[in-house]
């Protein structure tokens, strides 16, 4: 992340002539200094996507006045838009079960300053990682889900949602949280829950994807960071990566290799999200790296 305070403006709207000129002209009229700009048109939907970073100290007003001043232009072009302040770190609530490799990687990046977020708490359905999390000075909450009936699981996820809201969470990160998020939470936090799935989606959804891949004799394994939707492992994809394997690799080898891919893919996907680099287009994403 840059050290100079910046506002990040993201826009999605029907494509037409003059959008870039209108937005850039608005910023220029207020002596705004654009330091990064990205644009894309989705030809299938004819929808336009824009991301601009503006030096905060170049504008004569803050975000509240920006909203007031920009709303007329946004209405003219039928824009869905938002603007964020790099000085306000997003609050990432991490959910995890027993496997700690993704959690460990995220906490390392957070402690080192590489991942610019606040982590108000970690929530798990097991007690196993309490000591590890609390060693980092982060509150740990255990909300058991194993052995629960459907009604009990609904109550458990309601408690997770309550804690997320109480912590004013911006993004819920499923760092190998091995539970299916119920549809009502998927809808309530649409675009605000990201998951790491240990396969190169859309291949091998659901449980034990490495075992599925081994049975199919694949030559590539991978991991996928995606937004969570009410269809299992089918939400908009943010980031993916793969590695080559061969006939001599066992399931255990694939699991071991895959952990490295999972860590990197989740970290990149989360960073793209908190830097407002991801815009959703139907069940796809535009990612301005």
- Active-site residues, by number, are 233
Q: Count other C-beta atoms under 10 Å from residue 153's C-beta.
A: 18
Do 109 and 117 touch, CB atoms closer than 8 A? Answer: no
Q: Count the Cβ atoms, other than its own, within 10 Å of residue 223.
A: 27
Question: 208: which residues sit within 8 A by CB, 6+ positions away?
Answer: none
Strand 237-244 and strand 80-85: the pairing is: unpaired
For strand 117-118 and strand 284-287, is the pairing parallel, antiparallel, or unpaired? unpaired
Q: How far is CA 97 from the centre of its chain?
A: 19
Structure tokens at 172: 């819920």
Contacts of 221 (CB under 8 A, 6+ apart): 199, 200, 210, 213, 242, 243, 245, 254, 257, 258, 261
């Amino acid at each position: 992340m840059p050290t100079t305070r910046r506002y990040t403006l993201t826009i999605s709207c029907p494509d037409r002539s003059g959008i870039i000129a209108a937005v850039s002209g608005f910023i220029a009229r207020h002596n705004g200094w654009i330091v990064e700009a990205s644009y894309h048109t989705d030809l299938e939907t004819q929808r336009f996507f824009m991301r601009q970073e503006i030096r905060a100290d170049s504008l004569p007003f803050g975000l509240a006045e920006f909203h007031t001043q920009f709303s007329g232009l946004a209405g003219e072009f039928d824009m869905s838009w938002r603007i964020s302040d790099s000085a306000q770190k997003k609050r990432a609530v991490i959910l995890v079960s027993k496997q700690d490799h993704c959690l460990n990687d995220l906490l390392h990046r957070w402690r080192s300053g590489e991942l610019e977020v606040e982590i108000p708490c970690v929530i798990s359905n097991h007690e196993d990682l309490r000591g590890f999390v609390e060693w980092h000075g982060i509150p740990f909450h255990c909300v058991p889900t194993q052995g629960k009936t459907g009604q009990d699981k609904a109550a458990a996820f309601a408690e997770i949602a309550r804690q997320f809201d109480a912590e004013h969470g911006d993004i819920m990160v499923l760092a190998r949280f091995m539970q299916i998020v119920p549809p009502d939470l998927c809808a309530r936090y649409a675009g605000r829950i990201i998951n790491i799935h240990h396969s190169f989606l859309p291949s091998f959804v659901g449980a034990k994807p490495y075992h599925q891949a081994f049975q199919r004799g694949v030559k590539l394994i991978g991991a996928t960071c995606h937004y969570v939707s009410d269809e299992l492992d089918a939400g908009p994809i943010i980031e993916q990566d793969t590695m080559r394997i061969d006939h001599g690799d066992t399931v255990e080898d694939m699991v071991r290799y895959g952990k490295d891919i999972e860590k990197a893919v989740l970290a990149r996907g989360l960073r793209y999200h908190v830097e407002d680099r991801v815009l959703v287009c139907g069940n796809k994403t535009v990612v301005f790296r």
